[in-house]
Structure 1
């Protein structure tokens, strides 16, 4: 079983007594967040509020004690991933739509996000992704990047509501299937968190089941919300041309 102190980023697994003091002040990370803040303050985003919202959430994910908690609990790690792909990614897609860059077909983007999500939540790749700083950031960037590309396409004005809705439903379906497999697994699969769950009064299996529920319900809400908005928008009569 891997030692929990082998988690390369966010440090050793947090315990209740030291959680509130476990802020991540990595200078490279802070410089990247500061660069994003400068871009937003300079008016380089298409939707400033969305950009600032994404920045605030990235501070919660990577700087706040949630980072150290995600070293201890698989459920906290999944919450981290849910916020990254279902909240930060769509906000960044609104703030930086990059309309001049071509967008791959929606079916390809749905498949890409599905593959990335499933691969990083398989036990061996998951533990590999926490073993070194480069693999940790490979995990984060690939999750965020694939989600950003999908949200950018779904939210693009040129995409008809029908294909966008199908993409959202397909994404929720594959995410729900992965979550169900995690919830109903007969044993704890993520050994890197087994020792640290005891400090939080949880069994490894209960921690894993909570993680699956977080991926099953809260993660789907932004996709369902945007889907309902797209469906409602498509039903409204077009405004007459002036």
Structure 2
């Protein structure tokens, strides 16, 4: 697993652990019993992703002896990312999030800041292609090549385009009208989470693209650093608005009665805002610092080579 993935895995739980300390003396109880979510529209796609990846991985494993360590790292990274998706969407966290905005926000942070970057780092698409027969691989490869050459896809998948797209999804879905709609409708709730996952995948793919064909592109790395910092500010601003709001934003939560954990509706929203503001900002800034360190190391190495020549 690469250095950035280790930083993300370490930083995320520790940053979330700071939230209870910010509760201003509120007595937080253990949550009431919440069920696991076995909705076929959630478990089905997750199981299909696992099946397709596992089949492709096994076929590649049987054909490549030298590439086994790389395949093993990809499997661990992909499995961890997919496991975090399952934790967020299937475990009692999901059901608790329908009663508590704080838990709902933690669920969103797991999706967008932990699961999706790991899935991107695993680079699963080449592996998953091998789960299909040769004709299917060729058709999917051509379709992917056509998509990558289209102007609109280049714009949306660029660092700036992906940053704007993710920011738009974040702000729009946290507008009271849309968020209330997602809480009151299972279908809209799935659409909300799907939009968060897809835009986060596009964002992290754009941020981490420098590891591949742009490995030596200083401008691409600097742009990724800038986009990560901007994203930390965009998410932090939304979280700060929630944390310092004078009244609860979401009527759908108020209709359900007091939230769990012994919190008031206002405290529940304030803590949710802090989760978006503090841990979310730390993850993006931390990723920017790791990338900047890599950039400076590469620049120093290149400069040393030139001096030696």
TM-score range normalised by the length of the shorter chain? 0.7 to 0.9
Contact 1:197 1:207 in 2 (8 A): no
Select which of 231, 234, 251 maps to 1:174.
Answer: 234
The residue that corresponds to 1:30 in the other structure is 43
- Pairing 1:108–2:161 present: yes
1:50-199 aligned within 5 A: 50-96=77-123, 102=148, 103=154, 104-157=157-210, 158=214, 160-194=220-254, 195-199=256-260
The residue that corresponds to 2:274 in the other structure is 213
Instruction: Evaluate the alpha carbon distance shift between residue 162 and residue 202 of structure 1 in structure 2; reply closer, same or farther with a 3 A threshold.
Output: same
Q: Structure 1 residues 132-141 or 145-154, which shifts more? A: 132-141
Q: Structure 1 residues 67-76 or 23-32, which shifts more? A: 23-32
Contact 1:40 1:52 in 2 (8 A): no
Q: Distance in 1 between matches of 2:223 and 2:31?
A: 46
Instruction: Evaluate the alpha carbon distance shift between residue 198 and residue 95 of structure 1 in structure 2; reply closer, same or farther with a 3 A threshold.
Output: closer
Select which of 203, 223, 229 maps to 2:264.
Answer: 203
Aligned residues: CA RMSD? 2.4
Structure that is richer in helix per residue = 2
Q: Distance in 2 between matches of 1:65 and 1:185?
A: 28
Q: Distance in 2 between matches of 1:109 and 1:143?
A: 12
Decide which structure has the larger Cα Rg and report it. 2
How far does residue 196 in structure 1 lie from its aligned partner after superposition? 3.6
| 1:76-132 per-position Cα deviation (integer Å, ceiling 9, x unaligned) | 111111111111111121123769663433222111111110011111110112222
Instruction: Evaluate the alpha carbon distance shift between residue 205 and residue 162 of structure 1 in structure 2; reply closer, same or farther with a 3 A threshold.
Output: same
Contact 1:97 1:152 in 2 (8 A): no
Normalising by structure 2, we get a TM-score of: 0.67
Normalising by structure 1, we get a TM-score of: 0.84
Q: Structure 1 residues 61-70 or 87-96, which shifts more? A: 87-96
Structure 2 stretches lacking a partner, 5+ long: 1-29, 61-70, 127-144, 149-153
How far does residue 200 in structure 1 lie from its aligned partner after superposition? 3.2
1:216-235 aligned within 5 A: 216-235=277-296
Q: How many residues align?
A: 225
Q: Distance in 1 between matches of 2:182 and 2:259?
A: 23
